[in-house]
């Protein structure tokens, strides 16, 4: 497989700077960037900042960084976008890219690091429609009345227009132990980014899916940023493992408030109990 083209960033470039590869310094929707920051942590962020492009910024200790890079380059190349790579000076950029592409399997291969279950979270109202239709739809496939909207103007309104346009054509999934899917639900409720696991919100439904089956069936899309995503639609059967609401956890009465972390932990415990009680086969 040929190496997808990329542009090594000049030494003075940062992800907030104008485009050094165009005459007028603009990016538009044709450019993105993948940046490894000179920091020894496992944090990463995405978005547009300053006069820069939409970019993904990773600490050196983010797990499976080579997989992420290879998936990002392949995905962006398939979308016809140009990728700027910005790495610390001690990393041999070309050698790192070559190694990443060599060691990263194709998207339809289940990798040793792929968790067997992934999660998508949604509101209670949306879950009723999903159940009725028997299918999970991407935002672009929803009617205007059904599409999730933020409550009021805020950072979400600034962030979303700078995402690659086809992101709305995909259903995003997160790992079972992290609060990312709940942060999406909470952020839409609050009209701003909610990144605190101890923030309070109104839980919706955690949908648990068989990620290995999704991958083997060729439905999983890997972009290097999300754990996995699916284009436009995913039938509930045969991929849905369980749907868990707050009332499933505490049917005699919910607590006055839920934190994101409390709901994730208790929903996961409920899933484990449910799977243990299911008959074999």
Q: What is the pLDDT of residues 72-115, one digit of tens each?
A: 999 999 999 999 999 999 999 999 999 999 999 999 999 999 99
Q: How far apart are CA 178 and CA 180, in angstroms?
A: 6
pLDDT given for residue 4 in this prediction: 86
Which pair of structure tokens corresponds to residue 96? 């790192």
Count of other CB atoms within 10 angstroms of residue 279: 4
109 three-state secondary structure: coil
CB atoms within 10 A of CB 265: 14
pLDDT category at 199 given cuts 50, 70, 90 is very high
| pLDDT cut 70: percent of the chain above it | 90
pLDDT at residue 149 greater than cutoff 60: no
Residue 145 predicted with pLDDT over 50: no
For tokens 């999660």, what's the residue? 119
Separation in Å, CA 233 to CA 23, 132, 139, 237: 40, 14, 10, 12
* CA 259 to chain CA centroid, nearest Å: 21
CA 35 and chain centroid, separation: 17
Does the bond joining 238 to the residue before it have cis omega, within 30 degrees of 0? yes
- The maximal CA–CA distance of the chain, rounded, in angstroms, is 65
The structural domains of the chain, with segments of one domain joined by +, span 7-103, 117-277
Whether 147 has a pLDDT exceeding 60, the answer reads no
Range of lowest pLDDT (98-107, 118-127, 138-147, 203-212): 138-147
Q: What is the pLDDT of residue 3?
A: 79
E strand intervals along the chain: 7-8, 31-36, 44-48, 54-58, 82-86, 117-122, 135-137, 170-175, 200-201, 205-210, 220-221, 228-231, 233-235, 240-245, 258-259
């Amino acid at each position: 497989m040929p190496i997808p083209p990329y542009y090594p960033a000049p030494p003075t470039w940062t992800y907030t700077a104008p485009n050094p590869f165009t005459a007028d310094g603009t990016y538009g929707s044709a450019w993105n960037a993948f940046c490894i920051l000179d920091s020894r942590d496992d944090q990463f962020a995405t978005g547009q900042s300053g006069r820069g492009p939409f970019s993904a910024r990773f600490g050196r200790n983010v797990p499976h960084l080579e997989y992420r890079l290879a998936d990002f380059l392949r995905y962006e190349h398939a979308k016809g976008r140009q990728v700027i790579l910005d790495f610390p000076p001690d990393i041999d950029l070309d050698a790192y890219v070559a190694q990443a592409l060599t060691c990263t399997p194709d998207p339809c291969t289940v990798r040793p690091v792929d968790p067997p279950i992934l999660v998508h979270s949604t509101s209670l109202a949306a879950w009723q429609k999903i159940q009725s239709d028997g299918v999970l739809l991407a935002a672009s496939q929803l009617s205007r009345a059904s599409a999730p909207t933020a409550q009021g103007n805020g950072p979400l309104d600034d962030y979303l227009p700078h995402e690659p346009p086809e992101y709305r054509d995909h259903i995003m999934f997160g790992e079972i132990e992290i609060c990312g899917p709940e942060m999406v639900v909470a952020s839409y409720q609050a009209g701003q980014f909610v990144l605190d696991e101890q923030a309070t919100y109104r839980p919706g439904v955690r949908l648990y899916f068989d990620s290995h089956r999704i991958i083997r069936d060729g439905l999983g899309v890997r972009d290097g940023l999300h754990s996995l995503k699916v284009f436009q639609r995913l039938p509930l059967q045969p991929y849905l493992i369980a749907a868990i609401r707050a009332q499933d956890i505490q049917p005699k009465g919910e607590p006055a408030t839920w934190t994101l972390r409390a709901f994730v932990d208790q929903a996961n415990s409920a899933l484990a109990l449910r799977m243990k009680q299911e008959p074999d086969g």
